[in-house]
């Protein structure tokens, strides 16, 4: 978020949260949204909506800002926050970036060590093959600075009613648990609605104590496939551990009515064919455990470009669309069927001849994934996991 001088960005280590809340940037955003104007920073949501898909925009949120003054200021503090615990993460998922996982930048550095020229190529490919957005080796760990941590913990305990906790991976960061303990000790957890977005690789037995206190708790399980598919996209996760975590959370949910589970897959080139299988697993999980989970449908990868399924060859998209359509009868939830039908319609939109740079993007897809699979010494790389995809891309590029 740009500061009022138009040059620097707000930084939680130097600026108070209150300063940014009523900054010129935020005032302008509020004014424009209330006037129904479009904002360039919201382009991803507009794009999904134009494809008939669901976006993260929630117009009901605008109601909260109806009391903003004419210049966009609001008197109350931010009651809902999305708290990012830096970029410390234990995974390096295909569609992610070093902004969210320090492992990704580190891996790109390590991949380039023995191959002169690869680093330049990877940098040129920023936005196409990877989300190169900053200094690769950077680690954001504001939570390790005592003053910053104190400011955030006190603000959250005192003002925040509802928060989404995101990483990095919060459950791999001890300060995330310290925040829950901080609020527990001050008896403020009971006022809070907490949403934890996690890759499900870790749990903490104390969650049972903390989450009993909160007003409500939602666990977003970020899973992009079942078994080896998730392990490939969300490297180096182990499916066995993820299932163990799911069953841990299931017990928590069953013992507490205010807790719920939401499965949140990110739909992309490497799993769009797997969509019905994933949803079937989620439905079966509910049946076996006797809980009622939801599915978060708005996470669709549009960057890096090689993860955006619309760039795949039309022939492959048709194969996937036909296959998904055949499998739909395996599902019982009508909402899921309707959502998948929207993706089938999106897959049927052809663009082999119209999408700019399609050949280059697909060449980058092959080079990047081949190099990464070799570097990771994978026994099952993308070519073995998705032979039809490999075949259709090779045919398209001939
Ligand atoms: S678990 Fe989340 S933050 Fe970590 S690499 Fe995957 S998507 Fe990024």
| Distinct helix (H) and strand (E) counts, the chain | 16, 6
Residues 6+ apart with CB under 8 A from 166: 82, 83, 84, 85, 100, 197
Q: What are the structural domain ranges in the chain? A: 1-36, 83-88+137-397
Which residue's C-alpha comes closest to atom 8 of ligand 1? 96
Which atom of ligand 1 sits closest to the CA of residue 92?
Answer: 5
C-alpha span between 159 and 358 (Å, rounded): 48
C-alpha span between 287 and 42 (Å, rounded): 37
Which residue's C-alpha comes closest to atom 3 of ligand 1? 168
Which residues does ligand 1 sit against, CB inside 6 Å? 89, 91-93, 96, 100-101, 167-169, 199, 222, 234
How do strand 259-263 and strand 294-295 relate by DSSP bridges?
parallel
Compute the distance from residue 100 Cα to the ligand 1 centre, in Å.
6
Handedness of CA 281, 286, 216, 254 (dihedral sign): negative
Choose one of 133, 169, 196, 301 to mutate for the ligand 1 pocket test, by most ligand atoms within 8 angstroms of C-beta: 169
Compute the distance from residue 26 Cα to the ligand 1 centre, in Å.
27
Q: pLDDT of the chain along its 398 residues, tens only?
A: 888 888 888 888 888 888 888 899 988 888 888 888 888 888 878 887 887 777 777 766 666 667 778 788 888 888 888 999 889 999 999 999 888 999 999 999 999 998 889 989 988 898 998 887 667 888 888 888 999 999 999 999 999 999 999 978 999 999 999 999 999 999 999 989 999 999 999 998 888 899 889 999 999 999 999 999 999 999 999 999 999 999 999 998 988 888 999 999 999 999 999 999 999 999 999 999 999 999 999 899 998 999 999 999 999 999 999 999 999 999 999 999 999 999 999 999 999 999 999 999 999 999 999 999 999 999 999 999 999 999 999 999 99
C-alpha span between 198 and 220 (Å, rounded): 6
Choose one of 200, 234, 238, 267 to mutate for the ligand 1 pocket test, by most ligand atoms within 8 angstroms of C-beta: 234
> How buried is 355 (Cβ within 10 angstroms: 0-12 exposed, 13-18 middle, 19+ buried)?
middle
Handedness of CA 166, 168, 171, 177 (dihedral sign): negative
- pLDDT score for 61: 66
Angstrom distances, CA of residue 190 to CA of 174, 187, 194, 210: 21, 7, 10, 9
- pLDDT score for 387: 98
Q: Which two tokens stand for residue 64?
A: 């909260």
Which atom of ligand 1 sits closest to the CA of residue 100?
Answer: 3
């Amino acid at each position: 978020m740009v500061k009022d001088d138009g040059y620097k960005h707000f930084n939680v280590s130097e600026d108070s949260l209150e300063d940014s809340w009523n900054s010129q940037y935020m005032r302008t955003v509020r004014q424009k949204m209330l006037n129904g104007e479009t904002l360039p920073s919201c382009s991803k949501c507009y794009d999904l909506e134009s494809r008939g898909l669901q976006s993260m925009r929630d117009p009901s949120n605008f109601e909260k800002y109806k009391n903003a003054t004419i210049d966009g200021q609001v008197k109350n503090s931010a009651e809902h926050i999305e708290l990012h615990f830096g970029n410390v993460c234990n995974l390096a998922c295909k569609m992610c970036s070093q902004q969210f996982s320090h492992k990704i930048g580190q891996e790109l550095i390590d991949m380039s060590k023995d191959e002169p020229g690869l680093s330049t190529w990877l940098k040129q490919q920023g936005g196409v093959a990877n989300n190169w957005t900053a200094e690769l080796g950077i680690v954001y760990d504001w939570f390790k600075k005592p003053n910053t941590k104190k400011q955030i913990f006190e603000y959250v305990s005192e003002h925040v009613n509802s928060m989404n906790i995101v990483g990095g991976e919060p459950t791999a960061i001890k300060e995330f648990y310290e925040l829950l303990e901080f609020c527990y000790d001050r008896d403020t957890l009971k006022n809070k609605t907490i949403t934890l977005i996690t890759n499900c690789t870790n749990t903490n037995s104390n969650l049972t104590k903390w989450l009993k206190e909160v007003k409500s708790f939602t666990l977003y399980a970020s899973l992009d496939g079942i078994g080896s598919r998730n392990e490939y996209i969300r490297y180096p996760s182990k499916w066995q551990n993820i299932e163990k975590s799911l069953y841990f959370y299931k017990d928590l949910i069953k013992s507490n009515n205010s807790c719920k589970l939401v499965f949140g897959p990110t739909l992309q080139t490497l799993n769009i064919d797997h969509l019905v299988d994933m949803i079937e697993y989620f439905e079966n999980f509910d049946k076996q455990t006797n809980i009622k989970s939801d599915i978060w449908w708005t996470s669709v990868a549009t960057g890096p470009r090689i993860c955006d399924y619309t760039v795949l060859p039309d022939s492959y998209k048709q194969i996937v669309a036909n296959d998904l359509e055949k499998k739909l009868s395996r599902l019982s939830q009508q909402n899921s069927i309707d959502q998948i039908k929207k993706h089938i319609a999106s897959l049927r939109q052809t663009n082999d001849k119209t999408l700019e740079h399609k050949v280059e993007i697909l060449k980058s897809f092959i080079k990047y994934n081949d190099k990464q699979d070799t570097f990771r010494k994978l026994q099952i790389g993308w070519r073995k996991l998705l032979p039809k995809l490999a075949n259709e891309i090779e045919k398209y590029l001939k």
